[in-house]
Chains A and B, each alone.
Chain A
Amino acid sequence: MTAARTHGDPTAVDATSLLELLEAGDVSAEEVVSAHLSRIADLDDDVHAFVTVLDEQAMDHARDIDRRRAAGEVVGPLAGVPIALKDVLCTKSVTTTCGSRMLADHRPPYDATVVSRLRDADAVVIGKANMDEFAMGSSTENSAFGVTRNPWDLTRVPGGSSGGSAAAVAAHFAPLGIGTDTGGSIRQPAALCGVVGMKPTYGRVSRYGLIAFASSLDQVGPFARSVTDAARLYTAVAGHDPRDSTSIPEDVPDGMASLERGVEGLRVGVIADALGDGVEPGVVARVREAAQLLGKLGAEVVDVSLPHARYGIAAYYLIAPSEASSNLARYDGVRYGLRVDGDTTEAMMAGTRSAGFGPEVIRRIMIGTYALSAGYYDAYYVSAQRVRTLIIRDYDAAFEQCDVVLSPTSPSTAFEIGAKADDPLAMYLNDVFTVPASLAGVPALSLPAGLDDDGLPVGVQLAAPLLDEATLFRAARALEAELAFDPVPRRANAVHPPEGSATKA
């Protein structure tokens, strides 16, 4: 009995459907993993979603799951489902590059907590996904290992920094992906690749074993092709970890339980300021349509305002580089990865860092070092932290009026590779709608809401109060069912999904 005969191609369906087939014995984990590895082998030369494909390790894990299931042993809640893991999370003895020459051969001596939890859940890590170097970027053009291409149009970027994970899920290389989000690095690539991506509340998912970019903002979260799958993956990795001192010591409510409850009576706040100048008309149209649909489903739709959100980019591009300049001081040619020899320790360190870091990482270290340096600390870093307080107050006020806020995820759909590569400030402005939730720490999710006139996917963003991921998933699920987003690209230069890929409903 093979999957191909009884149920079509296992790469066509989402994780929830795969789990049903696996539990029923209609398909084996080995067949599921093997089918995804074959698709990667056929198509990843075009997409370049992965830095490392873990063929052998994934097949061994799949066979072990099949053996345990056959023996009547307990298997995890994601048993046999392939997952693409952003190469920023440490995997014991498996190369973890962070998209950088600095760590090209880095093999961590331990697993990140997220990786341990995925293994406990029996999700099968199928590869380490490409990313902007040290998670700094919005296009995955900053990887030392080459750009990732958008499966909807291979001449366009997948977004970033988790572009490899987003592209892997969009290209059906895996139904699930793990990314990290500091200022939008899950939500923006999810929007540009037409998949679901979610940033949990800051501290919900452990940062232990996550290579640090900006410690007060970094958060791990799921990618999937359905809201239900994203909630399932979030549930598997979220929860307190004593090894991360900023991990939230609260139980995680079961996000799956309320998923189908609908939005009747829920108050949805539309951020009216976010539908003005600088946002592509195709994006504005999809956000307005999403608001209408939520209203039709029984939600109360109101206008809300985040008056200080317009200062978000300025504050973020001081806070994140400042924290990065401190975090990345550890790459000194002594403890990790690359070393360029020099006559003195200082020359060795400077030579190593200049050779190991790419231009965007150097730019951010320079901004951060400047902002933290004597005489500028109060004017830049502390002032940015004051703006952070103002943005938190804006969300507090908005959440008096509504339960979730709705906005675009990104002001544009996927842009051409190279279009913004030479203009750092233009690239930073991609994050205008994602950065405020990062600064406030609140959970936010990007949902594919349809296409623009060019046939490129548009993401809408929902955000909820701290710790209220359950409401976020519930609102997103209701909207997803009403939108019935068609995931089959019509453009030339697209990677077509496998036969039988279902429209979500």
Chain B
Amino acid sequence: MSLSIDDVRHVANLARLALDDDELEQLRDELSRILGYAEQIGDVATADVPPTSHAYPLTNVWRDDEVRPSLDPAAAVATGPAIEDGRFRVPRIIGEDA
């Protein structure tokens, strides 16, 4: 198992992580070793074994659709680093030319 530096850069971009070349190189080495170790599951994980997502079987947890108390909207957004008029403030998303 050996990842290329481009693989690692691609994954970092998917995960929205800005990493420098040294960090990418170290992660390339570590991920190659960790994923290489993990590949042993291929010995036993055959298609006839169904996957399990949760160990305790619970399906379709229902509740009545009724109005219940919830967080005050101002309190709910107050954890953000930049708030304006009760909303999260973010940098421009659509460019000037778009």
Contacts and interface: CB of A to CB of B under 8 A. Distances in A.
Contacts of B7: 370
Residue from A318, A342, A383, A392 with most neighbouring chain B CB atoms (10 Å): A383
A69 B38 CA distance: 56
A245 B63 CA distance: 10
Nearest to B48: A386
Given A246-B58, A248-B58, A440-B55, A390 B49 contact: yes
Interface residues of B, number: 54
B72 to A, nearest CB: 8
Interface stretch (A74-82, A361-369, A398-406): A361-369
B53 to A, nearest CB: 6
A497 interface: no
Given A109-B78, A341-B91, A366 B45 contact: no
Contacts of B88: 334-335
A344 B95 CA distance: 9
B34 A439 contact: no
A466 B56 contact: yes
B41 A389 contact: no
A305 interface: no
B74 to A, nearest CB: 9
Contact of A366 (B11, B42, B61, B76): B11
Nearest to A216: B54
Contact of A370 (B11, B55, B63, B76): B11
Given A202-B55, A369-B11, A424-B34, A334 B80 contact: yes
Contacts of A292: none
A114 B43 CA distance: 40
Interface in B44-67: 44-46, 49-56, 58, 61, 63
A336 B79 contact: yes
A373 to B, nearest CB: 6
A350 interface: yes
Nearest to A428: B34
B61 A373 contact: no
Given A109-B71, A109-B79, A383-B42, A314 B37 contact: yes
A349 B14 CA distance: 12
A318 B16 contact: no
A248 to B, nearest CB: 6
B36 to A, nearest CB: 9
A52 interface: no
Interface in A298-352: 308, 311, 313-315, 317-318, 325, 329, 332-339, 341-351
Q: Is the interface of A mostly helix, strand, loop or mixed?
A: helix
Contacts, number: 178
Interface string B30-41: 110111011111
A237 B78 CA distance: 28
B42 A216 contact: no
Given A354-B18, A441-B55, A363 B44 contact: no
A388 interface: yes
Contacts of B53: 216, 385
A39 interface: no
A337 B16 contact: no
A304 B18 CA distance: 48
Nearest to A335: B80
Interface string A246-287: 101100000000000000000000000000000000000000
A308 B45 CA distance: 10
Nearest to B54: A216
B55 A439 contact: yes
Contacts of A21: none
Interface pairs A-B: 3 shortest CB-CB: A441-B55, A385-B51, A383-B45
Given A341-B91, A349-B16, A466-B55, 7 more contacts: A106-B79, A311-B43, A336-B79, A337-B81, A384-B45, A389-B52, A425-B37
15 contacts: A109-B78, A245-B58, A314-B38, A315-B38, A318-B38, A334-B81, A334-B88, A342-B91, A362-B17, A363-B27, A370-B3, A383-B42, A389-B49, A390-B49, A425-B37
Interface of B: 3, 7-8, 11-12, 14-19, 23, 27, 30-31, 33-35, 37-46, 49-56, 58, 61, 63, 71-72, 75-82, 88, 90-93
